[in-house]
Structure 1
Amino acid sequence: METPNHYFYVLSCKDGSFYGGYTNNLEQRIDKHNEGKGAKYTRARNPVFLLYYEIFSTKQLAMSAEYRFKQLSRKAKEKFLEERGVNYATTEKLS
């Protein structure tokens, strides 16, 4: 039996903020966020754009990555993304 992938992902919200989350179906989850059916945080910040994701073998590992990201300051989140080659500046404040 195939094991589903577990994703930690980072979104850029319309207001320029970042949102970190977990899912086992990345495309479907981003669609839910943009339909206003995702996390409460993103409902008022649509549209959201995928900036970054990592695939993990277990849910626990992916959720740990999400937790660590959410504990970071804004400046540390920016550094996290920059270190991974993500240009988040082009998607900020697209209202």
Structure 2
Amino acid sequence: MPHMYILRCADGSYYVGSTRDLERRMFEHGTGAGAAYTRKRLPVVLVFAEEYEFVHEAYEREKQVQGWSRRKREALIAGEYDRLPGASRSRYRRQSG
């Protein structure tokens, strides 16, 4: 089944990805055969995964979560879904006048 997943890297950063085979992909990341980003930040730990019926759903979720702030990703990882709306990036609003 396709998955969207989040890894915590050795430097404390997060990597968001999607795959058809989570076990294989985790092996690749763990051995340095995964993404260039994680290769430079080993070891990595799987901290979150969601399963989807279709690959395109996992990929769309990956792209959504990649656009999130660190705070919002951490709320998702912690299962604190009620914090997700408030954890969005604040937008600078120009004051007119």
TM-score w.r.t. length of structure 2: 0.77
1:44: how far off? 0.6
RMSD of the TM alignment (CA)?
1.4
* Identity value in percent: 36
1:6-47: CA deviations, max 9, x gaps?
111111111111111111111110110111110111011111
Unaligned runs of 5+ in 2: 82-97
Match of 1:82 in 2: 78
- Matched positions, count: 81
RCO higher in structure (CA 8 A, sep ≥6): 1
* Ranges of 4+ aligned residues in structure 1 off by more than 3 Å: none
TM-score w.r.t. length of structure 1: 0.79
1:25-72: CA deviations, max 9, x gaps?
111101101111101110111111111111101111000110011000
Unaligned runs of 5+ in 1: 86-95
Match of 1:73 in 2: 69
Question: Higher Cα Rg: structure 1 or 2?
Answer: 2
Match of 1:8 in 2: 4
1:82: how far off? 2.0
Separation in 2, partners of 1:23, 1:76: 22
4, 21, 41: which is aligned to 2:37? 41
Separation in 1, partners of 2:80, 2:16: 15
Match of 1:32 in 2: 28
